[in-house]
Structure 1
Amino acid sequence: MTSSPTPGLTRFNAAEDRAARAALREVCASAAWGDEILARRPYPDTASLLAAGDTATAHLTAADLAEAMAGHPPIGRPEPGDPASAREQRGMTDAPDALRAEMLELGLAYQEKFGHVFLICATGLTGEQMRDAVRHRIDNAPEHEREIVRGELGKINRIRLARLAAAPDGEGAPP
């Protein structure tokens, strides 16, 4: 049994391409990802939208993945004025200064090795858990790490798409 679309999903399905694309860029910075989601509209329910998001994430090329990662600020330094970034990185908000400094150092080392920010689905994680994850992942081979990043990006995209679809009237979804 398929449920009916939520108000946010209804607005997303009905939005003009430009507005829908802008909403999708808030979910994932990859243009290819957004184009694939747009091409499959309308979505009958949130589950269908999330499945399309998963498929689009799986289809990202290395360049598309790089574009998507470029839209994410480093852990511990959420984008000013971006409530999603601040909400997702809440685990670092009250972290002790020593942990924040260690995350900065580890993040820079990770970025130097892999050429992009350390990406993790930080929702619900503590600062210590994020630190432990970067410590563990920094020794990965680049190919292995790219697939871990794809998985983490997929988790982030799912959370953000679900939030877009669940947005009550007038919030979070395109006009």
Structure 2
Amino acid sequence: MTRGPTLPADRPSRLPTPLDAFNAAPADEAGALLMHCLHSLRWARRITEHRPYPDVESLLAAADEATYDLSPGDLTEALAGECLPELPEDTYSAAHTALTAAHAAYEARFGHVFVICLGDTSPTESLDRVLEGIRSRLTNDPEEERITAAEELRRLAGGRLAEKLRGAGPCPSAAPPRGATSPNAPAPGK
């Protein structure tokens, strides 16, 4: 008597995860999710092209590593898609003038929006953390600030990816990118 193939009894069937969907998605859909996380076409393409990822941690490690290869133009593109972190609504009315003035000084000095990963900062402490960050980083020289902004972008991207692919992340998401284009469109100059 021959027996047909059997499945191991102790092997439960696994439900698809957000990572499974990301790995199986068409390149343009995967790239759109990635563009929401960092706003860089080159970064999105690199992560998309290296799919599939065995687990979220591997994807996050690859995404983090890829941000170190961003050119100055890629970093400028990523920063252009950012906005100030979301703060509690009543925060803006209470300290709108201070926040607006600090951000205007930062943007005038460095030419891009201020980025910071607030992580586990409580909503009541968010404004103080943003203002403190802007004021302390205004003393940076432009190259030092470019490195600091890139590190904050890495942290934001990792948090956004973790949130999308496993439901939680260390950094709150910012608003969707302004003027995002398809991650599969040719890069400028290519």
* Fold in common (TM above 0.5): yes
Shift of residue 50, structure 1, vs aligned partner:
0.4
Aligned to 2:147: 147
Aligned to 1:42: 52
One-letter amino acid of the structure 1 residue matched with residue 130 of structure 2: M
Deviations 1:85-108 (A, max 9, x none): xxxx23x43326342221111111
Query: What is the TM-score when the length of structure 2 is the normalising length?
Result: 0.74
Aligned to 2:5: none
The answer as to whether partners of 1:99 and 1:128 remain within 8 angstroms in 2 is no
Shift of residue 5, structure 1, vs aligned partner:
9.6
Shift of residue 144, structure 1, vs aligned partner:
0.3
Aligned to 2:111: 115
Is there any run of 5+ residues in structure 2 with no aligned partner, and where? 1-13, 168-190
One-letter amino acid of the structure 1 residue matched with residue 91 of structure 2: A
Aligned to 2:163: 163
When the two chains are superposed, the root-mean-square deviation of aligned CA atoms in Å is 1.8
Q: Is 2:22 the counterpart of 1:27?
A: no
Query: 1:124–1:93: structure 2 CA closer, same or farther, 3 Å change rule?
Result: farther
Deviations 1:22-60 (A, max 9, x none): 111111110011011112100000110000111111111
- Percent identical among aligned pairs is 36
Query: 1:5–1:50: structure 2 CA closer, same or farther, 3 Å change rule?
Result: farther
One-letter amino acid of the structure 2 residue matched with residue 36 of structure 1: R
Query: 1:161–1:5: structure 2 CA closer, same or farther, 3 Å change rule?
Result: farther
Aligned to 2:6: none
Aligned to 2:21: 11
Query: 1:134–1:5: structure 2 CA closer, same or farther, 3 Å change rule?
Result: farther
Relative to its length, the structure with more helix (as a share) is: 1
One-letter amino acid of the structure 2 residue matched with residue 100 of structure 1: H
Q: Is 2:103 the counterpart of 1:93?
A: no
Aligned to 1:129: 129
Q: 1:71 aligns with which of 52, 75, 81?
A: 81
Moved more, 97-106 or 132-141: 97-106
Q: Is 2:61 the counterpart of 1:51?
A: yes
Corresponding residue pairs, total: 150
Q: Distance in 2 between matches of 1:129 and 1:5?
A: 40
* Secondary structure in 1 matching 2:113: coil
Aligned to 1:106: 102
Is there any run of 5+ residues in structure 1 with no aligned partner, and where? 76-88, 168-175
